Amino acid sequence: MRYVVALLGVMLCVSSNSLASVCRDVHLAAVRDEFRSMDSSQSISSAYGYLCKQDASVSQQAVNIGIGTANSIATAALAAAKIPSLTMTGSTNQERVESFCNITSKYLATMDVSITQSSIVSNDKLQSLNQCMEIESKGLRIVRQSMSETNLVVQLEKDPAFNTTITSVSTDAHVKCTGSDLGDRNIADNKPLGKINFDRAFTIRCARAPIKPGEILFEGADVSINTTVTPYNIRWPQSEKLPVRDAQKIAGQIKNLNLQISSLSTRLIREERLTKLVQRGTTTFGSADNIYRERINFPRPFPSTPQVFTSIQGNKDDVFSIQIYELSSTGFTFGLYRVNGSRWGGKQTVDWLATLE
């Protein structure tokens, strides 16, 4: 097996046996999404490189993030891979992670898949998970995090047994943040916050300005809550909503297209109806001895027997009479007779029209 070691992102170097709900629910869900975007071998090799050593034992990184979290990552990777033969066994998280390392090592050996050691931590959301847990292990717990198109709220609590605190907040120019007990001043300028009162939860509220005033399209932003342990980075994605003006324009275009479709549908129905009611054609033939007969088959059968009208184009000195017989819904036969003579030379053309109207 080939092992490619690529240490990417920020490694979690501290132990945390329990996760705050924000760390678990928000960031671990993002890790699962990361696996879903990979193919089967990528999801397995990435998880293996993060949770297991080269000898198929459990890695220190898996211990650092907590065996329960490691089990969740392994489960998500196997679910994304959708390989029935790879099934973890064991009744405890530790046993299941050990089982994952064992079965995955054997599978990757047969597939000759490169292992990218710890590659999944290059993802910014997983990096936030690592940071979230590291901060919590030092007594600063994120108890709430909510995000909308315009507002971001992060609420933190502090364990008085630790000295960990928030030092500053930094973000992009179109984002303004305030902190509870710090007044209305913008704290998202990377300047020292000073002493923070953690007698109750400390809340950071950020507001994002639209790209253009009066519209609802927002650029993405990065908000960093800097602490004495490590920064906690939050990626605020670009808004996918369209500005009202563009939405109204598109709605108008859709309305016009619907009107055009309706008009075309009416025309098609009319033309289809005419096709069923009216058919026409032309036949040309050469010289004959006084009488010429020909069978005409309609391109499409009529639902019932139509009326047939004919006209003759030819030499002005020739006078003809035409008779229709054997008329049905599928065709007719005509007989052409020269009235002022017998044989004729040159070409003659008969135009016909059949209709149910």
Structure confidence at residue 4 (pLDDT)? 34
For the chain, give the number of residues. Answer: 357
DSSP 249-269: HHHHHHHHHHHHHHHHHHHHH
Residue 321's Cβ-count burial label (10 Å; 0-12, 13-18, 19+) is exposed
Structure confidence at residue 10 (pLDDT)? 31
Q: What is the mean pLDDT of residues 68-94?
A: 86
The pLDDT confidence band at residue 117, using thresholds 50, 70 and 90, is very low
Q: What is the mean pLDDT of residues 294-317?
A: 88
Are 125 and 31 in contact by the 8 Å Cβ rule? The answer is yes
Per residue in 337-354, pLDDT (tens digit) is 888 877 777 788 999 999
Structure confidence at residue 235 (pLDDT)? 84
Helices (H), ranges, the chain: 21-22, 28-36, 40-51, 60-65, 67-81, 93-111, 124-137, 244-277
pTM, two decimal places: 0.46
Q: Which two tokens stand for residue 256?
A: 């016009």
Q: Which of 97, 108, 125 is nearest to 28 (CA)?
A: 125
In this predicted structure, the answer to whether residue 312 has a pLDDT above a threshold of 70 is: yes
Q: Which residue has the tokens 């939405």?
A: 247
**Strand pairing category for 140-147 and 151-158:** antiparallel
Name the region of 12 (left: φ>0; alpha: ψ -120 to 50; beta: rest).
beta
In this predicted structure, the answer to whether residue 17 has a pLDDT above a threshold of 70 is: no
* Mean pLDDT, rounded, of the chain: 79
CA 14 and chain centroid, separation:
37
Structure confidence at residue 85 (pLDDT)? 83
Structure confidence at residue 26 (pLDDT)? 62
In this predicted structure, the answer to whether residue 247 has a pLDDT above a threshold of 80 is: no
Ranges 9-13, 250-254, 289-293, most confident:
289-293
d(CA 355, CA 350): 17
Per residue in 148-183, pLDDT (tens digit) is 888 999 988 888 888 889 999 999 888 999 988 777
Q: Residue 336: enclosing H or E segment and its boundaries?
A: strand 331-338
Structure confidence at residue 142 (pLDDT)? 85
Are 16 and 137 in contact by the 8 Å Cβ rule? The answer is yes
- Higher confidence at residue 201 or residue 325? 325
Q: Which two tokens stand for residue 146?
A: 């909510």
Structure confidence at residue 213 (pLDDT)? 74
Structure confidence at residue 224 (pLDDT)? 92
Q: Is 19 helix (H, G, I), strand (E, B) or coil?
A: coil
Q: Is 23 helix (H, G, I), strand (E, B) or coil?
A: helix
Per residue in 252-285, pLDDT (tens digit) is 778 788 888 888 877 777 777 766 788 989 998 8
In this predicted structure, the answer to whether residue 28 has a pLDDT above a threshold of 60 is: yes
Q: Which two tokens stand for residue 210?
A: 């639209």
Q: Which of 192, 205, 129 is nearest to 165 (CA)?
A: 192
In this predicted structure, the answer to whether residue 125 has a pLDDT above a threshold of 50 is: yes
In this predicted structure, the answer to whether residue 3 has a pLDDT above a threshold of 80 is: no
> Which of 18-27, 191-200, 236-245 has the lowest average pLDDT?
18-27
d(CA 101, CA 121): 18
Q: Cβ contacts of residue 110 below 8 Å, gap of 6+?
A: none
Structure confidence at residue 227 (pLDDT)? 92
Alpha-carbon dihedral sign for residues 48, 54, 56, 62 = negative
d(CA 132, CA 140): 9
Q: Which residues pair with 151 in a beta bridge?
A: 207
Q: Cβ contacts of residue 315 below 8 Å, gap of 6+?
A: 344, 346
Q: What is the mean pLDDT of residues 227-240?
A: 85
CB atoms under 10 Å from CB of 33, counted, come to: 12
> Which of 71-80, 112-121, 209-218, 294-303 has the lowest average pLDDT?
112-121
Q: Which residues pair with 331 in a beta bridge?
A: 297
Structure confidence at residue 329 (pLDDT)? 92
Structure confidence at residue 206 (pLDDT)? 92
Which domains does the chain possess?
3-122 (no CATH), 138-236 (2.60.40), 276-355 (2.60.40.2080)
- Higher confidence at residue 247 or residue 268? 268
